């Protein structure tokens, strides 16, 4: 796959090289840059969700995605690219940036938003995109059901700092709002503003769920582990 390079591409290229050196198999490989200044990246076959899919995800899918993110963070912790922060964050952990194979998230793509920050900030964005937000419940699981999956997501990752998790999500939403308004996307800005209002209305419930515990059944965990070994 070939894409034009951008202002942030040098950092992303360093990150992809670091991940390759550290044996991370689920990220694209940087093959090079061609004569037209386009980056050449490896391509992974699979299904990439075109949208948030009504935030309808199984426990097994959430656990598999969380383990990929944990491996990404662990591979970058303490590296020069982390620049004194905890890790290098992906920066856009929407389901739309995962490649699904046989129904499970197996690869992570589009690192254009990668930056140094905390584990918690990346997980907060991920929780928003996968679970926490307004949905038409004629199509989506109820908010209570999705909220009940939040501790599973955080447990699957192994996140330690879960305090004030609603505020962490809102901080990511505000950054997203600033980005979409800078590019003049009014419709996206209205959607994010509505998501922020929804988060504020449910902040106490989100904070409580983030601090609770819920784990996958052992058989489901084995399936996630087996899938990771097949990459």
Q: Residue 59 maps to which CATH number? A: 1.10.510.10
Q: How far apart are CA 164 and CA 206, in angstroms?
A: 9
pLDDT at 124 exceeding the cut of 70: yes
Residue for token pair 């819920």: 214
pLDDT at 27 exceeding the cut of 80: yes
Domain that holds residue 190: 53-229
Q: Are residues 150 and 126 in the same domain?
A: yes
Residue for token pair 């009014």: 186
Residue 48 lies inside a defined structural domain of this protein: no
Q: Are residues 189 and 94 in the same domain?
A: yes
Helix 119-130 with 59-76: angle, nearest 10 deg:
160
Q: How far apart are CA 95 and CA 58, in angstroms?
A: 12
Q: Are residues 193 and 140 in the same domain?
A: yes
Residue 47 lies inside a defined structural domain of this protein: no
Question: Residues for the chain: how many in total?
Answer: 231
Residue 86 lies inside a defined structural domain of this protein: yes
Residue for token pair 């905890």: 86
Q: Are residues 90 and 10 in the same domain?
A: no
Q: Are residues 72 and 147 in the same domain?
A: yes
pLDDT of residue 215: 57
pLDDT digits (tens, 9 = 90+) for 39-52: 999 999 999 999 99
Of 28, 25, 26, 24, nearest in space to 9 by CA: 28
- pTM comes to 0.92
Q: Are residues 80 and 36 in the same domain?
A: no
Q: Are residues 59 and 29 in the same domain?
A: no
Q: How many domains does the chain have?
A: 2
Where is 182: in which H helix or E strand? Answer: helix 165-182
Q: Pairing mode, if any, of strands 104-108 and 38-41?
A: unpaired
């Amino acid at each position: 796959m070939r894409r034009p390079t951008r202002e942030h591409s040098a950092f992303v290229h360093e990150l992809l090289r670091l991940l390759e050196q550290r044996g991370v198999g689920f990220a694209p490989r940087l093959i090079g840059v061609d004569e037209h200044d386009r980056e050449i990246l490896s391509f992974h076959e699979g299904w990439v969700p075109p949208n948030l899919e009504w935030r309808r995800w199984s426990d097994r899918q959430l656990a598999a995605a969380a383990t990929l993110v944990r491996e990404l963070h662990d591979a970058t912790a303490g590296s020069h690219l982390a620049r004194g922060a905890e890790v290098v964050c992906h920066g856009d952990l929407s389901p739309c940036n995962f490649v699904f194979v046989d129904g499970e998230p197996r690869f992570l793509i589009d690192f254009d938003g990668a930056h140094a920050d905390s584990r918690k900030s990346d997980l907060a964005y991920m929780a928003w995109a996968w679970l926490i937000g307004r949905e038409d419940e004629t199509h989506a699981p109820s908010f209570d059901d999705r909220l009940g999956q939040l501790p599973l997501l955080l447990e699957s990752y192994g996140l330690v700092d879960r305090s004030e998790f609603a505020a962490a999500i809102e901080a990511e939403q505000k950054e997203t709002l600033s980005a979409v308004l800078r590019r003049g996307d009014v419709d996206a800005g209205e959607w994010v503003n509505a998501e922020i209002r929804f988060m504020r209305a449910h902040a106490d419930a989100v904070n409580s769920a983030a601090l609770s515990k819920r784990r996958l059944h052992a058989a489901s965990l084995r399936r996630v582990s087996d899938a990771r070994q097949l990459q």
